[in-house]
Amino acid sequence: MDEPNAVPVIGLEIHAQVLTRSKAFCGCSTAVADAPNAHTCPVCLGHPGALPVLNAAVLRAAVLLGRALGSDIHPRSAFARKHYFYPDLPKGYQITQHREPVCTGGTMAFVGSDGTEHDIRLERIHMEEDAARLLHRGDASLADYNRAGIPLLEIVTTPAFTSAADAAAFMRELRRVLVYCGICDGSMERGSLRCDANVSLRRTDGSPGTRTEIKNMNSFRAVERALNWEIARQRALLKGGKAVASATLLWDEDAGEARIMRGKESSADYHYMPEPDLPPAVVTQEHIDAADASIPELPLARQRRFLEKYALPALDAEVLTAERSIADYFEDVVRHLTAARTDSDAGAVETGMRTVPAKFASNWIMGEVLRGMREAGLSSPPVEAARLAELLRCIGDGTVSGSAAKRVLAAMAESNNAPEEIIDRLGLRLLRDDDTLRAQVREVLNAHPKQCAAFYAGKEKLLGFFVGQVMQRSGGSADPKRAAILLREALSRHGDEDANASSPSGKGES
Ligand SMILES: [Zn+2]
């Protein structure tokens, strides 16, 4: 049947590695990157008779995420065994939650590809353990059980997405929420955040199509590419009069295509059964209260607040709230800037300090600070918020030029000294003595009569040339903004005199 207008229906299953010190059901360390098999014990190796015990931190994380997203938290939830045979699973089953997950329902808002906010309903959030990692070397396959038993939260959405771009946008937002809540480090690269998706095409008559599952998407970009690829594949099948077969596909990012791994298992294939070695997980009122007390302002709400409270452009609000630590840093800098403003700052507006310190701070953080962090591979800003605020004040009150301040910032990152100290050490203090500056302005104008005449004739761009000349004459110590103001003053006076002098004599322009 030809269904060119069939609407994609996408649901996501996201696995987030919970930031805990020990594994989900044993005391082994979660340092998965250590030497292979450094962190194993009879429980996570699946030795017969070894008894799992739930790590309370995993339950706390599940309750926190559930409360943050408005899920129903169940006082009792049960663990189940999901059976399959594979070398990454020594027990022959994975401990997960099946019929009685810890959280059901809930909603998460995200900004879709159309630029508006959408609410996506969640099916559930449940706790489970990760499998081991297999490394394939030539003919040999090696197993690293450091990852076996690592705690995961699985977040399952309703099949509510109609485009690959929206699914990827949701993933980005969920990543922010998980990182803001301190539940997961959010690294898709390292595998601490993973995404599987169900895809089908709803027929134009509204009837559902056959679902396929696509796995192994290791970046947000991969999520979008893989889903678009699968949507196109299903469309082509339907268009050619063929049926979509239920299947699991493995995305190959390098090849830009997926390969069909196996016919998709149904729930029955896993022979789920209750886990007899674990009692139900019990959530008490204390759990709920503790979670509520530690829910941070969620990233999208914070982004909205940045737009309103600080009147920032949309891009600034998005970039600054991408990481919670940067959003905190920005607000700290603004707090220091506003707290430190006094009457002596009245002139600051004139010399360049924005009337809105927030945008000024945002420019510096989005530019120099984030760039510096990227280049040095840092996870936090190279200078304290209070120090950056001091430097911004130095720019605002004309102590240092914006371009010289970049050098000051780099030096501050190394020494953590006060900006004023560094400005003096590097000889970057701007000349703000108006009498000296006026004298230099006069010298410059007198030395360039031709350019003055051209300026009066309308070539206002020459102001930049004059500023450059003043800077040169002052050995780079003049405040360019102040120089520009004094130049304009001098030129207008000069122009009046010139006009008065020239009209009676009838002298034309030369
Ligand atoms: Zn263990």
Domain count of the chain?
3
Q: How far apart are CA 375 and CA 381, in angstroms?
A: 12
Residues 141 and 171 in one domain: yes
What is the distance in A from the centroid of ligand 1 to the CA of 149?
7
The neighbouring-strand residues paired with 354 are none
State the CB neighbour count (10 A cutoff) for residue 418. Answer: 14
- Residue 58, classified by CB atoms within 10 Å of its CB into exposed (0-12), middle (13-18) or buried (19+), is buried
Dmax over CA atoms of the chain, in Å, equals 112
Residues 345, 260 share a domain: no
**Is 252 inside any structural domain?**
yes
Query: Is 286 found in the same domain as 205?
Result: yes
Contact 193, 314 (CB under 8 A): no
- Same-domain status, 243 and 323: no
Q: Kindly state whether residues 74 and 51 are assigned to the same domain.
A: yes
- Which contacts (CB < 8 Å, 24+ apart) does range 258-266 have? 258/214, 258/226, 258/229, 258/230, 258/233, 261/215, 264/211, 264/212, 264/213, 265/84
CA 48 to ligand 1 centroid distance, Å = 13
253 CA from centroid of ligand 1 (Å): 33
Q: Are residues 405 and 496 in the same domain?
A: no
SS3 78: coil
3-state DSSP call for residue 143? strand
Q: What is the CATH number of the domain that holds 459?
A: 1.10.10.410
Which of 242, 261, 292 is the last residue in one of the domains? 292
Cβ atoms within 10 Å of 480's Cβ, excluding its own:
21
Pair type for strands 193-202 and 7-17: antiparallel
Contacts of residue 160, defined as CB under 8 A and 6 or more positions apart, other chains included, come to 10, 11, 120, 121
Show which of 384, 402, 425 is a domain's final residue.
Answer: 425
Compute the distance from residue 291 Cα to the ligand 1 centre, in Å: 27
Tokens representing 4 are 């060119």
CA of 23 to the centre of ligand 1 (A): 7
Structural domain ending residue among the three candidates 273, 292, 311: 292
Q: How far is the CA of 39 from the centre of ligand 1 (A)?
A: 7
Could you tell me if residue 55 is inside a domain?
yes
pLDDT for 497 = 55
241 in a domain, yes or no?
yes
- Give the whole-angstrom CA distance, residue 83 versus residue 89: 9
In this prediction, residue 503 carries a pLDDT of: 40
- Residues 479 and 451 grouped into a single domain: yes
The pTM (predicted TM-score) of the whole model is: 0.81
Q: Is-contact 217 210, C-beta < 8 A?
A: no
Q: How far is the CA of 286 from the centre of ligand 1 (A)?
A: 28
Structural domain span for residue 337? 297-425
Per-residue pLDDT of the chain (510 residues; tens, 9 = 90+): 455 578 999 999 999 999 999 999 999 999 999 999 999 999 999 999 999 999 999 999 999 999 999 999 999 999 999 998 888 999 999 999 999 999 999 999 999 999 999 999 999 999 999 999 999 999 999 999 999 999 999 999 999 999 999 999 999 999 999 999 999 999 998 999 999 999 999 987 878 889 999 998 989 999 999 999 999 999 999 989 899 999 999 999 999 999 988 666 666 688 899 999 999 999 999 999 999 999 999 999 999 999 999 999 999 999 999 999 999 999 999 999 888 655 444 334 333 444 468 999 999 999 999 999 999 899 899 999 999 999 999 988 888 888 889 999 999 988 888 999 999 998 888 877 778 888 889 999 999 999 999 998 888 889 999 999 988 887 777 778 888 888 998 888 765 555 444 444 444 444
**What is the C-alpha to C-alpha distance for residues 326 and 261, in angstroms, rounded to an integer?**
41
Residue 196 placed within a domain: yes
- Interatomic CA distance for residues 500 and 52, integer angstroms: 97
Q: What is the 192 CA–ligand 1 centroid distance (Å)?
A: 18
Q: Give domain status of residue 2, yes or no.
A: no
Residues 6 or more apart whose CB falls under 8 angstroms from that of 185 comprise 17, 19, 179, 192
Nearest Cα to 128, choosing from 158, 94, 155? Answer: 94
